Amino acid sequence: MNDLDQLVAAASADFAAAPTPAELENAKARFLGKAGRVTELLKGLAALSPEQKKTRGAEINQTKQRIEAALTARRAALAEAELEAQLRAEALDVTLPGRQRGVGGLHPVSRTMERIEAIFGSMGFDVADGPEIETDWMSFTALNNPENHPARSMQDTFYVDMKDEGGRWYNLRPHTSPMQVRYARAHAAKYAGMDTMPEIRVIAPGRTYRVDSDATHSPMFHQCEGLWIGENVSFKDLKVVFTEFCRKFFESEDLQLRFRPSFFPFTEPSAEIDIAFASGPLKGKWLEVAGSGQVHPNVVRNFGLDPERYIGFAFGMGPDRLAMLRYGVNDLRLFFENDLRFLRQFN
């Protein structure tokens, strides 16, 4: 191997040893740069005869080309290696299943509320909403439940650390019945002074609160109030409407209803409404689903209406209870623990 072959071999070895493009450029300078080994060789030509210059010059040129070729090859190899590394680092495993966005769904109680609204809506009932923090008058007094009357203990509620103008504590409404008063008063005010008033036909679903907690009671629960007031609305209408509602809600034509005498200060007469399924696991068992009755004249008066002219009925049902029956859930608390394993079953 002559000195020129050795130079090519040395350059190739240096290039191969350069791990990065930057270091390769440094190696290039050592051989092909201004002060590089090839340039040194060319400078040596000056001392040679014209004849020798020609041969030696051609040999050096060839050497330079071989070194340049080695450099080009190494540059390409490094670029390829870099690309490979990048591809490997950014590799996507296309066989991995994609990440799916969780599909949300309505809570079973919300579904039940929507179902109640749709059925009563189809029977011409408006849907109203009202405050959960109520005055004493709305929750009790207006509903013919006087201050200090023992019937108030039927709805043992929570009180809010705030008093109304009359000096009475605000309460977390123990039932949706205050919505009868709020809605009817607004309705009566709207038609005050006119000869006739359209009937009041409304349901008011929402959250309610009581000091109660076991498998069938939660301190926060839901109710849906219903009110139908007109000049000629009777208990018979309540029976028709509520029977129709239950049969539609449970999709069961042979469902039985029983109106069992009861007491509420705001209705007279009053009845608990029980239902019994004609088939299924609960067949033949009477299950209480609502309280109801003909609205008491004192309450009609508090609506701002004349009880001699206006009459009708009200009912209050428990959507949580209805959801339990419809879905076969035996512990009410499951609805409010928000365990996704439980809730997912309804979607």
User: Where do contacts with ligand PHE occur on this chain (CB under 6 A)?
Assistant: 175, 177, 264, 267, 291-293, 314-316
Indicate the residue among 206 and 293 with the shorter CB distance to ligand PHE: 293
What is the secondary structure of 246-276 as a DSSP string? HHHHHT-TT-EEEEEEEEETTEEEEEEEEEE
Nearest CB to ligand PHE, comparing residues 28 and 222:
222
Min separation Cβ 309 and ligand PHE, Å: 21
Nearer to ligand PHE, 125 or 264 (CB): 264
State in angstroms the smallest separation of the CB of 178 from ligand PHE.
9
- Work out how close the CB of 288 gets to ligand PHE at its nearest, in angstroms, rounded to a whole number: 10
Q: How far is the CB of 227 from ligand PHE (least distance, A)?
A: 8
Question: Which of the 8 DSSP states describes residue 36?
Answer: S
Nearer to ligand PHE, 63 or 292 (CB): 292
CB of 331 to ligand PHE, least distance (A): 21
Burial of 341 (0-12, 13-18, 19+ CB in 10 A): exposed
Cβ within 8 Å of residue 147, ≥6 positions away: 136, 140, 141, 168
Q: How far is the CB of 209 from ligand PHE (least distance, A)?
A: 11
Which residues, 6 or more positions from 275, have their beta carbon under 8 angstroms from its beta carbon?
A: 246, 250, 255, 256, 257, 258, 286, 287, 289
Rounded-to-integer distance, Cα 77 and Cα 17, Å: 12
Q: Phi/psi of residue 261, each to 5°?
A: -50, 140
139, 171 Cβ separation under 8 angstroms? yes
Shortest distance (Å) from residue 92 CB to ligand PHE: 59
Whether cis (ω within 30° of 0) applies to the bond prior to 269 is yes
> In degrees to the nearest 10, what's the CA dihedral of 239, 243, 249, 252?
170
Q: Which of 66, 80, 81 is nearest to 12 (CA)?
A: 66
- Pick between residue 15 and residue 259 the one whose CB is nearest to ligand PHE: 259
Which residue of this chain has its Cβ atom nearest to ligand PHE in the complex? 316
**Beta bridge partner(s), residue 258:** 274
Residue 78 tokens, joined: 């490094």
CB of 188 or CB of 314, closer to ligand PHE: 314
Local structure of 204: helix, strand or coil: strand
Residue placing its CB nearer to ligand PHE in the complex, 18 or 179: 179
Closest contact distance (angstroms) between CB of 196 and ligand PHE is: 26
Q: CB nearer to ligand PHE: give 205 or 293.
A: 293
